[in-house]
């Protein structure tokens, strides 16, 4: 999901700044389609929200399963305390969780190499998973405004809600 979010964000940014100029008529798997730039930008913005919501919902589901697994092990008097462990047998981390875990690991001695790795992990996590999609959504709003030539508000105005919804999703995800 993270890779799709990054790819769609880069695609939307490329269209918004003019690196890519999509054709209105294109074919996919032999089927002909007709879509305007406005429709492509709106569809991409909605896709970013769908990916963010999916990531949030999957994360909530995984956390619920982890809590239930821990509760079930406690019912048979088995202590499953893996909070400080480097290996967690019931977890399959995604890209973002791997980067965050890289920051959270504890070491006895300070090393410049480890500090740089942590700094780079935080930068990639924030830039790739939060800032890039938000920047893409803002670029979509600006591009829609210029495509409408400042005209009808209904073409570009509601896309401001896409930015607000995406920012809200990331706020809730990162708060937890």
DSSP 34-57: E--HHHHHHHHHHHHHHHHHHHHH
Specify the DSSP element, H or E, that contains 25: strand 25-28
CB of 49 within 8 A of CB of 170? no
Q: Phi and psi at residue 135, in whole multiples of 5°?
A: -65, -40
How many residues can be counted in the chain?
176
Query: Tokens for 114?
Result: 């480890």
| Average confidence score pLDDT of the chain | 78
List CB contacts of 50: < 8 A, sequence separation 6 or more.
none
pLDDT tens digit sequence for 116-132:
777 777 777 777 778 88
Q: Phi and psi at residue 174, in whole multiples of 5°?
A: -80, -25
Q: Which residues pair with 34 in a beta bridge?
A: 25
CB of 22 within 8 A of CB of 40? yes
What pLDDT was estimated at residue 84?
Answer: 57
Q: What is the mean pLDDT of residues 22-40?
A: 73
pLDDT tens digit sequence for 61-73:
877 887 888 788 8
Q: Angle at which helices 95-104 and 112-126 pack, to 10 degrees?
A: 150
């Amino acid at each position: 999901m993270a890779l799709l979010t990054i790819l769609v964000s880069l695609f939307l940014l490329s269209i918004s700044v003019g690196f890519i100029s999509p054709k209105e008529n294109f074919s996919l798997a032999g089927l002909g389609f007709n879509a305007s730039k406005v429709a492509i930008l709106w569809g991409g913005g909605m896709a970013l929200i769908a990916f963010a919501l999916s990531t949030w919902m999957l994360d909530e589901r995984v956390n619920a399963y982890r809590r239930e697994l821990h509760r079930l092990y406690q019912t048979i008097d088995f202590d499953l305390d893996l909070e400080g462990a480097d290996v967690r047998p019931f977890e399959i981390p995604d890209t973002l969780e791997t980067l965050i875990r890289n920051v959270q690991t504890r070491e006895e001695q300070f090393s410049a190499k480890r500090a740089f790795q942590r700094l780079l992990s935080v930068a990639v996590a924030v830039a790739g998973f939060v800032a890039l999609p938000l920047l893409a959504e803002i670029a979509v709003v600006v591009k829609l405004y210029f495509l409408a030539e400042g005209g009808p508000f209904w073409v570009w105005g509601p896309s401001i809600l896409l930015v607000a919804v995406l920012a809200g999703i990331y706020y809730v995800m990162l708060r937890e």
